Structure 1
Amino acid sequence: MLVGQSTAEYVFVKLIIYVFSYLGLICLAYFFLAASIGGETWIAHPFSIAVETIGAIEILFYLFWFLPYRYYLHKQPPKFPAPLNRDGRRELFSKSLGVTPDIELFFRGWMGGASLDDMRRENLKEWMLWSLFDREGPPGVDEEELEEYVRVVEERLGRKIRPGWGPVESLRLNLQRFAVSHRSLVFYLMIGTIDLFSSLTLLVMGFTLYRQPRSQFFRSFPFRPLTLLAPKESAAQNLSYFYRPHTSKTHRPIVFAHGVGIGLAIYIPLFLLLPKDIGILALEVLPVSSRITAGAPLAEDLMNDAGAIIAQQDLTNFVFVGNSYGTFLAKLFLDSPLLSSRMAKMVLIDPVAVLLHLPDLAYNFARKKPVEPNEWQMWWGAETEPDIAFTFARRLCWRSHVLWREDLGKCATTLVLGGSDCLVNAAAIATYVTRGKEEEEAGGELCWSWGDLERWKGSFEGWVGKGLELVWFEGFDHGQAILGNKKLKDIVSIVERYCRKEGGKRVESGISEEGMAEPEPQLGESEAVKKEELN
């Protein structure tokens, strides 16, 4: 959960960063201070010996693990999916520009916030080689196609782009050096402790851990004792998961994908509020959980792993719930014939995958300098965490995860957005999902008004659980809604309503029953049989 904007929160966040980044130096400074004040008597005290020992271990950890590991991560080449053909690139380029709220701000964002006067044709082509061709320059045989795209950009901007190179650096996440900050060994041990207690809590709640193969034990640090002790093994080598059996006859099960941070620990309150007879399959992606791992799997591998896990539990007619990074999996589920046929509805909380072609997420995550407390927390807790930074910079291809309106319309979908989200362009996403395609085409660019904002503020009260809908929480930052007490019950109400089958008995929820009934469509005999089997 992101902190607020107060001075006290700023001091707290900065203190946490300094302590867990420079613990070895702090212990070393204590040693010299104790030696200068109390001499041998002070530095020989049991407390001092403990501090000195921790300091020595931390300094060795920094020198012999962090520095080599950072060098190793930066040396890893990016990995991309199968390249698009020319028609595919042209379609993706046209679609991206067609749903861009402000074309000038769009390219300024991808040019690192620079003025368009400083952007030249070669800068633009360099960025296009990354975003459409998955490679670096020179243009080579793709020069003609790149010129075609540049002419389209000139037409949209209403100005000519000068030849040559300008004094700007475009954002090309997979090809550029990424920032990594140090974490102390004590920090990782705390993460391991939190993971152990949260895992035990989930086991007490009726979940079963399906671990990775025991051969993976030493490939993730802090080490997980349950990887050796848990009897059941995940069907996917790259992913472990917790599963609570589904026993309800009136509700659908849930497949849950978490965001970046510390894994599933922060979602335990959400699981506690959901009815206990609703099955929950909670996927674990350890490389984005503040751990030292072998790296995140690519999109195709992640899709196959998720399919193997869901087939292992034989889940059908489930509701997919994704938070933040977890919304990247939504596209994979929709593109998989196996997963899409078994998925009934989606709830996307703090969605970062919608309109992923916009520069906001890339700029805020990789280039923006933190100023406010929430930005410092995001910078240190996620953006520069070694494995998280490596996953975004070398293992994530934007076009494999971007969600368009036609994707969101494949099943009933609700997007839960915070109005003060510090990572994405929340207003653009809200406009995109609340305006119909015909209205968008008639009105041109996706621009919102204060009248739209007022309607969004009342979106939860008007939510009916049909089609593509938005729930807007005004004033909430990224992650605050699902992890805070004020709106968590509202989110649980949405998830529970999606889980409830047509005609099923309603359990306690924060949404009134009025207007919520979903009439059963008239089905033919064959369709009725299929629907019965699905339910």
Structure 2
Amino acid sequence: MSHDMKKDIAEEPLAHRPYTTSFYAVLLLLVAPLWAAVPLAWLFVIYTLRTGKLYTVSWTYTALFVLALCEVFFSVYHYHLARRVAGPTPVGSGSLRELQIQFTRILKAGLASLPDDGFDEETTDAPRPGSPAEHIFQLDPHDPRAVDFRSTLRNWFGGAPWSAIDVHHVRQWLYWSMFNANMPPLDTLSPAHRGALDETLDLLQKRAGVVLPERVADPSPAVKPILLTVDKVNICWRPFMFYAALWVVNRTLRYHLTRKHNATYTSHDGLEYIIRIPSAWNPETGPRPLVFLHGLGLGLLQYSMQLNYLLGHFTDRPLLFLIQPSISQDIFHPRFLTPLSRRETSSRLARLLESLGWADSDVECKGTAEASEISRALMDDERQRRAGVTMMSHSNGSYTHAWILKDHPSIVTRSCFVDPVTFCSWEGDVCYNFLYRQPKNGLELLMYYFVGSELGVANLLQRHFDWSSNSLFYEEIPHARDPARTLYVLGGKDSIVNAARVKKYLTSHGIRKGLIFDPAGMHGQAMIIGGPSHTKMMQWIRAR
């Protein structure tokens, strides 16, 4: 290997990560007991039925048998649902033109010569400076922009060295990205699909600074592109009692939260939410309502402390907490495996906020980049300040936040992104870290087993994921550089989000004062009440 190749970070192997003590502690104390509950229940039921002890033992034994029988029946039901999820994705490929625009935007990201702590000085006065104005051209292989692009693109190939990736691997990945399906033989593609694939591949090679090799032999079996919505769904079973206990806890928390803070649990057009509107609040002169979008996990159990804090400390304004059962392990909910799409969610939420009198989205975006720019150009900023909401999202909630900004930007007065997964998601870090990386420590194992491999979450991420809708670019954020209107909160030790990359992307576009970056912060740590990042967030929300 040449001296130059040794310097190429795209050729560096992934760092070896040994299993830690915390991994084994979580495995033995939490994961293994829950995982073993189902096979143990089967063994107990079979043993009892074969020996006939059910009719000769105490009521305690009988109660245990009934519980085990529930686990057996539920495991069959869970298996049926898992088989259903394992089928083809119900999400279509979308508009080819829009996908090409998105790919072009991805390839332009990082192409402009923007300093890490600034932006393109020639476009300082422009509302959207930076990469979108650039042209994709052939880069030199040693151009830092090309090297950086090759290095990050490896995430979609399991971190394989760039020299092991050939044109077939990239075509497979591009075809999935564009058409949400496995790539058929090239000679069977329609002219439109083949033309779009070849054009995008040509632009990608220019951006990468190299021409990918066409191998005569079969592609390297060690390299497999990540095809999120067509790859095998990773689902780990969990017992009926886990889901039942979570259902009881979340309903109990919902009852106590609404009663304590005079809030209401209700629904509108298929959206479920907790809402509290102070009787003294004036929609003309009062502070703007706060809408909170939660992330993946355990629903209210995970966010009850945060919601309790918001309801208790922001009594001067309305608050709406959107409940999302498909990412809250609410397996008994009728829409558990049928999450609302981008269009359904954004349009319904916009109508809900309008019906409450909190927002006015007279100018609506139709979902394209051009329409977004027209919408924002026509938007009356003063009207939006008077009729709009403060939207706060955490982790996976930033996808819904992105949908609203793309489709109905006029209803959001201020935006707060906490541990956002929507930025730089095209680089593959979030996808690889959360779903494909082998857990090696306790926190990673907790996230993988209790969240990432749960049936509803796996269904959402691996069968209903739409990367083009979920990716939010700087130029799509209204008032992105105004620290009073937009806040970004990142943790330097986030094990899901590559916070350093997101920070670099944001700061290169001029975002400085509106960025809270905790070098020691982990994913979710900013939501811990009393922490430095949380305190700053609450001060920012109260400032207006």
> Shorter-chain-normalised TM-score: which range?
0.7 to 0.9
Aligned to 1:505: none
1:148 matched to 2:199? The reply is yes
- Structure 1 residues 40 and 328: CA distance shift in structure 2, 3 A: closer
- Stretches of structure 2 lacking an aligned partner (at least 5 in a row): 1-18, 112-130, 132-144, 359-386
Does the Cα contact within 8 Å between 2:526 and 2:533 map onto a contact in 1?
no
Q: 1:474 is matched with which residue: 505, 511, 519?
A: 519
Instruction: Please tell me whether residue 44 in structure 1 is matched to residue 57 in structure 2.
Output: yes
CA distance in 1, matches of 2:197, 2:48: 65
Which residue identity is paired with 2:540? R
Which residue identity lines up with residue 164 of structure 2 in the other structure?
A: D
Structure 1 distance, partners of 2:471, 2:513, is: 16
Q: Is the 8 A contact 1:256 1:282 kept in 2?
A: yes
Contact kept? 2:296, 2:327, Cα under 8 Å: yes
TM-score by length of 2: 0.73
Counterpart residue type for residue 412 of structure 2: M
Distance 2:533 2:435 in 1: 32
The answer to whether the 8 Å contact 2:166/2:212 transfers is: yes
**Deviation digits for residues 87-118 of structure 1 (CA, Å, limit 9, x no counterpart):** 62553343346388822222221112222232
Is the aligned partner of 1:296 residue 2:339? yes
Q: CA RMSD in A?
A: 3.1
1:319 Cα deviation from its structure 2 partner: 0.6
Stretch moving more, 92-101 or 148-157:
92-101
Distance 1:360 1:42, change over 3 A: farther
Q: Is contact 2:258-2:265 (8 Å) kept?
A: no
How far apart in 2 are the matches of 1:473 and 1:14? 32
- SS of equivalent residue, structure 2 residue 416: strand
Tell me which of 366, 386, 389 is aligned to 2:455.
Answer: 386
Deviation, 1:271, is 3.1
- Map 1:302-313 to 2 at 5 A: 302-313=345-356
Q: Of 505, 508, 519, which residue of structure 2 is paired with 1:432?
A: 505
> Does the 8 A contact of 1:419 with 1:426 survive in 2?
yes
Q: Check whether the contact 1:34–1:42 (CA below 8 A) recurs between aligned residues.
A: no
Partner of 2:224: 169
- Which residue of the partner structure matches residue 366 of structure 2? none
Match for 2:108 among 95, 105, 128? 95
Contact 1:350 1:418 in 2 (8 A): yes
Matches within 5 A, 1:59-78: 59-63=72-76, 65-78=77-90
Q: Is the CA contact 1:331–1:403 (under 8 Å) kept in the aligned structure 2?
A: yes
Is 1:185 aligned with 2:240?
Answer: yes
Q: Does 1:270 align with 2:343?
A: no
Provide the aligned length of Structure 1 versus Structure 2.
440
Matched, 1:201 2:270: no
Query: Is 1:351 aligned to 2:387, yes or no?
Result: no
Change (3 A) 1:137 1:9: closer
TM-aligned CA deviation for residue 182 of structure 1: 0.7
Aligned residue number for residue 138 of structure 2: none
- Give 1:112's aligned residue: 158
Identity of aligned residues (%): 20
Q: Structure 2: which amino acid aligns with 1:241?
A: Y
Following superposition, the deviation at residue 39 of structure 1 comes to: 12
- Closer, same or farther in 2 for the Cα pair 1:69/1:32, shift >3 Å? closer
Tell me if 1:252 matches 2:288.
yes
Which of 319, 333, 337 is matched with 2:404 structurally? Answer: 333
Matched residue, 2:122 = none
2:196 and 2:502 map into 1 onto residues whose CA distance is 30
TM-fit CA distance, 1:394 = 1.7
- Contact map agreement 2:430 2:496 (CA 8 A) in 1: yes
Please say if residues 274 and 322 of structure 2, whose CA atoms lie closer than 8 Å, have aligned partners that are also in contact: yes
Secondary structure of the corresponding residue to residue 78 of structure 1: coil
Greater Cα offset, 150-159 or 161-170: 150-159
Identify which of 449, 461, 473 aligns with 1:404. 473
Distance 1:107-1:287 versus aligned 2 partners, 3 A rule: same
SS class of match (1:132):
helix
- For 1:229-260, what per-residue CA distance to the aligned partner results, in whole angstroms no more than 9, with x for missing partners? xxxxx2222x2001010444552210110011
Distance 2:539 2:518 in 1: 19
Conservation of the 8 A alpha-carbon contact between 1:260 and 1:325: yes
Task: Give TM-score, length-normalised by structure 1.
Answer: 0.75
**1-side partners of 2:256 and 2:93: how far apart?**
38
How far apart, CA to CA, are the structure 1 residues paired with 2:53 and 2:504? 68
Tell me which amino acid in the other structure corresponds to 1:295.
T
The answer on whether the counterparts of 1:106 and 1:358 sit within 8 Å (CA) in structure 2 is: yes
